[in-house]
């Protein structure tokens, strides 16, 4: 049966720095991959002084999406750093609409899976938490109708060996998940070179990208998930 995967994140580089290895493997196995970003990341790092950083970051996102093998990208147009309860309900409704429209266009039986970030935000960024909560609401709302073939939602998480303790250097950043909390580990090191290329597509965020690649080494292609049905 054909599989549709909706990967829903707050910023254009979230899936690149996170589960890009898993997403590459999914696309190469025949999964129809849909990438959703809630914002353009327009308040991110801007070392080159771009007048409209959001436009540049969306171009980078599309390049990364092509390397991942995404079938389609969906940009929702919210402001980076300003996601909150005031827009959460609207985001949820828009995600539900996107999924329904994509499923209605299928000409063969399919199953639908969601992927998003751990609702602890990993880094503590509120935008991440909003993306996770909106994706979760959309998943269970659609699943609850009984009309769509939703299977599971996977939450990208950081393991405890990466973040052994919480951190308050910037905003509150929780400790990583314990082995008992992690349901699935995907080793995508067979596509490690592609993962590195995907991360480096986000050239404007290169300081974070190179720090991430250096810190994680080959493990940058090993992804951890909490899984819910």
Domain range enclosing 145: 2-228
Mean pLDDT of the region 30-53: 97
Q: Are 172 and 128 in contact (CB under 8 A)?
A: no
DSSP per-residue codes, 27-83: HHTT-EEEEEEEE--TTS--TT--TTHHHHHHHHHHHHHHHHT-SEEEEEEEPTT--
Q: Which residues pair with 116 in a beta bridge?
A: 155
Does residue 147 carry a pLDDT above 90? Answer: no
Distances (CA, A) of 43 to 11, 14, 137, 152, 200: 10, 14, 26, 32, 19
Q: Quote the Cα angle for 157-69-21, to 5°.
A: 30
Q: Which residues pair with 186 in a beta bridge?
A: 223
User: Which tokens belong to 2?
Assistant: 């054909």
User: What pLDDT is recorded for position 15?
Assistant: 98
CATH of the domain at 83: 3.40.50.10320
User: What pLDDT is recorded for position 200?
Assistant: 98
Average pLDDT, rounded, for the chain? 97
Q: Which residues pair with 112 in a beta bridge?
A: 4, 150
What's the structural domain count of the chain? Answer: 1
Mean pLDDT of the region 146-152: 92
Does residue 65 carry a pLDDT above 90? Answer: yes
Reported as a single tens digit per residue, the pLDDT across 100-141 is: 999 999 999 999 999 999 999 999 899 999 999 999 999 999
The whole-angstrom separation of Cα 147 and Cα 154 is 21
Q: Are 186 and 223 in contact (CB under 8 A)?
A: yes
Band of residue 77 on the pLDDT scale cut at 50, 70, 90: very high
Reported as a single tens digit per residue, the pLDDT across 151-209 is: 999 999 999 999 999 999 989 999 999 999 999 999 999 999 999 999 999 999 999 99
In a 3-state reduction of DSSP, which class is residue 113?
strand
Side by side, which strands form the sheet with 110-117? 72-78, 32-39, 2-9, 110-117, 150-157, 222-228, 184-187
User: What pLDDT is recorded for position 28?
Assistant: 98
User: What pLDDT is recorded for position 146?
Assistant: 87
- List of residues 6+ apart from 76 with CB closer than 8 A: 36, 37, 38, 39, 91, 94
User: What pLDDT is recorded for position 170?
Assistant: 86
User: Which runs of E-coded beta strand occur in the chain?
Assistant: 2-9, 32-39, 72-78, 110-117, 150-157, 184-187, 222-228
């Amino acid at each position: 049966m054909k599989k549709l995967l909706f990967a829903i994140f707050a910023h254009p580089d979230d899936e690149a720095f996170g589960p890009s290895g898993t997403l590459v493997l999914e696309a190469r196995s025949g999964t129809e991959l849909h990438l959703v970003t809630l914002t353009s990341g327009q308040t991110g790092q801007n070392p080159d002084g771009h007048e409209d950083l959001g436009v540049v970051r969306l171009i980078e996102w599309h390049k990364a999406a092509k390397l991942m093998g995404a079938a389609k990208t969906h940009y929702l147009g919210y402001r980076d750093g300003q996601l909150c309860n005031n827009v959460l309900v609207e985001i949820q409704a828009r995600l539900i609409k996107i999924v329904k429209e994509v499923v209605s266009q299928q000409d063969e039986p399919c199953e639908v899976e969601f992927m998003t970030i751990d609702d602890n935000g990993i880094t503590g960024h509120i935008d991440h938490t909003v993306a996770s909560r909106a994706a979760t609401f959309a998943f269970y709302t659609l699943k609850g109708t009984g009309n769509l073939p939703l299977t599971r939602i996977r939450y990208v998480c950081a393991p405890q060996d990466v973040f052994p303790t919480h951190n308050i250097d910037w905003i509150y950043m929780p400790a990583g998940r314990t082995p008992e909390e992690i349901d699935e580990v995907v080793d995508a090191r067979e596509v490690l070179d592609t993962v590195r290329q995907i991360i480096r597509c986000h050239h404007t965020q290169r300081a974070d990208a190179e720090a991430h690649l250096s810190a994680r080494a080959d493990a940058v292609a090993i992804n951890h998930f909490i899984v819910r049905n």
